[in-house]
Amino acid sequence: MTFLAGCVLVPACSTTNADDVPSCTNGVRDGDEIGTDCGGACTTRCTGAGCTANEECSSGKCESGTCAAPAGKPCGVGVSVECNDGEPCELDKDCVSGFCDAAKCARPPEGSHSDGKKNAGETGVDCGGSVKATQPCPDGEGCVDSSDCVGTCLDGVCGPPGPTDGKKNNGETDVDCGGPNAPKCPNGKACEANDDCVDLYCAASTKICTAPRNDDGVQNGSETDVDCGGTSGKKCAEGLNCLVDGDCNGACNYAKKCVDMPSCKPRFGGDTCGGGDLGNGFAETHETGAGTVAGHESCCRTLLVPGYADPARPGRQVYLDKYEITAGRVRAWIEWLTATYGGQPNMRAYVMANTPPIWNASWNMFLATGFATDSQSLPNNPNPYPPYGPTIAPPWIAPVGVNGQFGSVLFTYIHGHNTFHSTGAYGLTTFWYPADVMMTPNGGLARANGVDSNGNALVAKNELDKKAMSAITHVALQAFCHWDGGQLATDEVLDYVTDSAPTLGNAAGCGRAPTNRCAPFGAVNPAGTFAPNINATSDSGGSAPLNYNYPYYANGAGGNETHEGVNRIAPPGRMIGDKVRVNAADEPWMDVHGNLHEQVLDMTGATFTGNFGLKYRGIGYSSARALQNGSGENRLRFAEYKAAYSGGRCMRFK
């Protein structure tokens, strides 16, 4: 054994000053000790600590799993009263002041809670214990219980704060909720922003999560716009924000804006109607009651027909769509049918479940049940016959699937139908199909992309979707308009807005003196102007120039895109001179006189005659009304009629 001068080796003696080297046997509270030579890094446990044996405790007594107070201890831990200043103590917790200094309770010295040491009743460095109310300990510091910590106390050490610790911490706006690190708060809890709340509404005046209402004038909760959409119980009007169709009175379009008619969800053919093609060097515009204004508009815009009452809908206001139906709108219908009916565009199933007021069950055979062949035995000959082809006896079988519905497949022969897109055919169909479908069942070439006036290539599908829909049967138009919230326009409403004579019937013409509401027929565009007149050809009952040509195809002399003639059909509204209005200040209907021949329901007052009709003028070759089309058999009245120079518009009742 080694002895040092002036020092006897007993437990209370140290080779150095006790303040310099902490020791668990030096009779001094130092280091991280909780009491004199106990707690912290010392194995000996202080009064009040948990224990399993007597030798674990500084008092030598373990009673009921807790280190008991030393014999004769007058106050503090293990005794019923706390120690006042000046009374003897073992631990900081013995003292009312929370500070045991030199074995006596005292007031902590000034600055002791910011001196970088664990003292003055603290459980960690400058935190917890005597200052836990204002300086709780962070993760990793010492503690007695969770009240010492920002988070929770586990085995004498503070753990990280979390969203289940029963405290408002870690950026929370209320206890265990709100802020970036905890779940959203239920109603009644404190918040800073809408995102703190389950219902996404933090009332600005109270900063309390509040149940949103659909009449509070604020976009909150799951609402997609102010007081509508989501689970608010109110649908959003046209033009308001949305996420899904269910947010809107109608549907949610490509730009996440509500549209009243579901067919106007897409971009192309949905809101591309009006005057001008940028790629052709003309500004986009549309017509109003006050004149021409900038920008295209919704292709589903519908206008009140002033002074007109539909005999079949007494008491209802009558609206007529401003524009002809676009190919893009029909595509939206096909996409909806496909999504609704298990991946197949089942027109027939839709009509059987949602039969329009004007409908004949015999028409169902002309409606597709899917994309593929779907062959039907037809009541009328779909083949050319003398002098245009040999006589073919029935049965007449044709596919009515969507892949042929809007292409070259005919369900009754129509002279000059222009639905083929083979070399030299200059076809006029506007519904885009992929190349394999153009080949089978349509017997044609892939659609050409075309170019703009600067030679830039254009996307065929987008350009076609903008155009007025052609090569669609009367019955498909009626089914489409019913799905879109209306019905196919009648001959009587069109004759009313154009002030055409009832005797006009299906003959070429539009309007009459003295009103002369229809745009003039046969006029040539003045030099340097764009499309002020109607778009029509000699099929329309007289000589007329071609007034629309876009996009551009290599189908002139020496060109190889002679299967395309669709550049002659305009997107609705491009012909800014082809407008009809009842009163001088009214917003006009567009392309009523020209562009496509208008397919209609043939009415006599409130009674549907059972036939369809073809009104006014449009694009085409040969003749829209000659021979079997408009005389003799008068095939244009058949439900299954379609031609690439014909289309339609819807009317509505409100």
**The total number of structural domains that make up the chain:** 1
Overall average pLDDT of the 336-344 stretch: 97
Cα–Cα distances in angstroms (integers) from residue 632 to residues 418, 568, 620, 625, in the given order = 21, 29, 20, 10
Looking at residues 356-361, what average pLDDT do you find?
A: 98
Contact 633, 413 (CB under 8 A): no
Domain for residue 510, yes or no?
no
Identify whether 263 is part of a domain: no
> What per-residue confidence (pLDDT) applies to 137?
96
- 402 lies in a domain? yes
Packed helices 474-483 and 327-340: angle between N→C axes, nearest 10 degrees: 70
Contacts of 639 by beta carbon, 8 Å cutoff, 6+ apart: 360, 362, 363, 366, 473, 474, 475, 612
Identify the band that residue 10 occupies on the pLDDT scale cut at 50, 70 and 90: very low
Q: Over 353-366, what HEC string results?
A: HCCCCCCCHHHHHH
Determine the average pLDDT of the residues in 286-299. 97
Q: Are strands 66-67 and 62-63 parallel, antiparallel or unpaired?
A: antiparallel
Model confidence at 333: pLDDT above 80: yes
Residue 477 domain-assigned (yes or no): no
Average predicted confidence (pLDDT) for the chain: 90
pTM greater than 0.85: no
Residue 11, pLDDT score: 36
Let me know: does 172 contact 178? Beta carbons within 8 Å: yes
pLDDT in tens, 394-428: 999 999 999 999 999 999 999 889 999 999 999 99
Three-state DSSP state, 199: coil
Q: For residue 165, is pLDDT > 80?
A: yes
How far from the centroid of its chain's Cα atoms is residue 404's Cα?
A: 31
Is residue 262 assigned to a domain? no
pLDDT above 80 for 467? yes
CA angle 40, 44, 45 (to 5 degrees): 70
Q: Which residues lie across from 50 on neighbouring strands?
A: 66
Q: Please, are residues 40 and 34 in contact by the beta-carbon 8 Å criterion?
A: yes
For position 413, what pLDDT does the model report? 92
Average pLDDT over residues 102-115: 89
Alpha-carbon span 271 to 329, nearest angstrom: 10
CA distances from 72 to 46, 69, 293 (A): 16, 8, 99
- Residue 83 falls inside a structural domain: no
343 or 617, which is more confident? 343
Please report whether residue 291 resides in a domain.
no
Q: Decide if pLDDT at 35 tops 90.
A: no
The answer to whether residue 642 is domain-embedded is no
Could you tell me if 123 and 148 are in contact, meaning their C-beta atoms sit under 8 angstroms apart?
yes
Phi-psi region of 593 (alpha: psi -120 to 50; beta: other; left: phi over 0): alpha
Strands 597-604 and 646-647, bridge-based pairing: parallel
Query: pLDDT band at residue 434, thresholds of 50, 70 and 90?
Result: very high
Is the pLDDT score of 565 beyond 90?
yes
Residue 631 pLDDT more than 70? no
**Closest listed residue to residue 276, CA positions, set 570, 18, 578:** 570
